[in-house]
Chain A
Amino acid sequence: DAGVTQSPTHLIKTRGQQVTLRCSPISGHKSVSWYQQVLGQGPQFIFQYYEKEERGRGNFPDRFSARQFPNYSSELNVNALLLGDSALYLCASSQGGRDYNEQFFGPGTRLTVL
């Protein structure tokens, strides 16, 4: 079975631009979460979607938005990019439900903002 896939692998943008990152979960998984990982730090939770509805949101500005599609894939959008948005963006899928099981992470999208 294919694992979690993310696209693109790398992305370079300039300040003020907008970016869309994509994630496909493991087949059968209904929950997708997004994390931002700055170099040298642990992942920071951004969003979680379950059954196409937002279940959780981390401490990120409204420039960050996401959605989940009927096939459970997900997009993360970031508007008005800042230099500080440069990071590895990780997507994780899980079966979901109230009792969290382990999350399976994709390889990430490395975003560089110049």
Chain B
Amino acid sequence: AQSVTQLDSQVPVFEEAPVELRCNYSSSVSVYLFWYVQYPNQGLQLLLKYLSGSTLVKGINGFEAEFNKSQTSFHLRKPSVHISDTAEYFCAVRTGYSSASKIIFGSGTRLSIRP
């Protein structure tokens, strides 16, 4: 069975500083990995996804993530954060290639940006 662990429930950083949000997964089959962002009172928005190919995936808003199969990780990074990046970030694994496959979410990391 698949599962997702987000090691940090909250990450405070100063504006313009770099940030890394950690995510580890467990799966006995091929994995398809995602990062979603949830702004206050809004639904989830896809930041980036890894289905296959290059292990470094670039997403929207300057975020990127690296798939590391040996460490079963998919950490999210941004070199310089902005106040507008304040949100909750969810790492997720999809149980299959098809969009109909179930998505299993981590418990989320709240990113707070200090001016």
Is A bound to B? no
Q: Which A residues fall within an 8 A CB radius of B?
A: none
B residues with a Cβ closer than 8 A to A are none
